[in-house]
A and B are shown apart, each in its own frame.
Chain A
Amino acid sequence: MSDSSAVHGAVAEVHPHEHPSYQRHHFETIEQQFDTTNFAMWLFLLTEIMFFGGLFTAYLIMRNWYYPAFVEASHQLNVGWGTANTAVLITSSFTMAMGVWNAELRRKGGLVLCLVLTFILGLAFLGIKTIEYHEKWEKYHIPGIRYSESAFLNPASDPEVHKSYPDDKPLAPDMAAHTEMYFFLYFAMTGMHALHMIIGIAILGFMIFRARAGAYTTGHVTFVENFGLYWHFVDIIWIFLFPLLYLISRHQ
């Protein structure tokens, strides 16, 4: 860090101590910079909590109003894929946390490996989501665009689901119409979540390049740490989406 006093000529008079080259001029110490950006990231996550909050509110209200429709519609979701996705995302949170640890210990190889694993797991999550969405498309469960209530007016017409949920009764036509609301909220919530995953994966791709160039293993772990916060937050959203959409309505 011997170049810092040459680069920050005038500032060095005011700050006789050396500071790392990645410290911005308006911060007094690198700890202040780290604390500040960390706090800023947490505040951003608060905005994300409130952003998803609106969707959770809508879901809880509509489920309360149209309980039979929501129960039967949720039976169309494959618990196996949902569980697999949850496991994938939890593992990716683990690899992300390990990535931060590697960055803190300045282990470039470990960091890159962890970031790559997180990246792959993220893609795996999206892949499984694609399979699930495709299945919805095939079965005409895309609200507003390609929707059929036949599976709810007559559960026997959908043998796969009917086998897992033999107690599902045919819904009255007006209640069956509300199953579309369920799928709208399903796609809105998982879609918004998937959008956040896509953004995260894109940033991960960028980070892998920078990590390989050694950008995060010089002691400047802020970016990795703060991105880790974002990634864990997206995981937490899914931790709640999974039971709410897939699990709580399995029985009448």
Chain B
Amino acid sequence: MKDGWRKFFLFKLPVTLAAILILIEALAFALEEVRPNRHDLDRLAIVADYPSEAIHSKIIVFGDSVTQDVLKTFKIGVEGQVTNLTTNKASGIIGSYLLLSRYLQNQPTPKTVVFAATPEFFAFSPDGDVAELYLRSVFHHEDEKEYIDGYLGEQRSAPSMSLMHLEGRIGTKIISVLSPTPVKFPMGQRVPDTTSLAADANVQAHVLDDILKRAERPIVIPEKNSNVLSEICTLAKKHKFNIHIVFAPVPISLFDAWKKNGIFASFLTQLRYIFKQGCQDVAVSLETTLTVVPDYMMRDADHLIRHTGTSFFANRLNEFVAKLANSY
């Protein structure tokens, strides 16, 4: 038996280890071109990468999960009028810029690009695992990779054995192969409710705590995000579209705190400065007042409750889109 184990350690185990490692590398190589289909941004990036005759929207909406919640559920604008490119905060404004660039390369130019998000969306900059999941592994064109490297201030790590990236190089790719390929941008079909009051008027204590914590966090737009916003303006100039920035509704406690501590005012000053410096000759419209909702309309510090809160925001967006459409 001892000889059997000796042969096992000297021959059988090394051979099977090597065989499996080679198999993993081969599988990873075979799946290299498969685009991952893990989250909404993956799917948006795939759809944006291919020209589509069905798309002729005059308005594109970007935003974070607060807006995404609305556009994935409710119909905004009339059929074909609005394209929903909302993501979530994780990919940051750079994710929206890269998505917009892709979109403009393959789809007809819109008249208006709307950023409808929380103020924090403009200040967030992804890094580490988040940047890997929402930027590096999503945007794979050479110019995109270069841009991301510049934004993050670091080169992507040299390719290593696929063994160390089993999930990213094989697991998610196999799931993508098995999943249906996304072919259109998502848009909800539900008509928003007209009532604006929630049945339950009590805000949960932990939600209120989180809202108050949110109110204390300063909103500082980092320089790299200012550069991204300037790049968006460069695209606007080149493709001749205008930019509108609107903010997602905020709970009253947050609004009061921001008013008191001047966080929102300071944020607006930063944004105005950025647009003044980097967006000359571009029509940028910046909403300067916040829409306020009662605290009980929030399911957490950032997100509106479904569907009373989200319906409220959807109605606002519909009004905004209708106004835009009338102005063309």
Answer yes or no: are A and B bound together in one complex. no
Contacts from B to A (Cβ < 8 Å): none
Contacts from A to B (Cβ < 8 Å): none
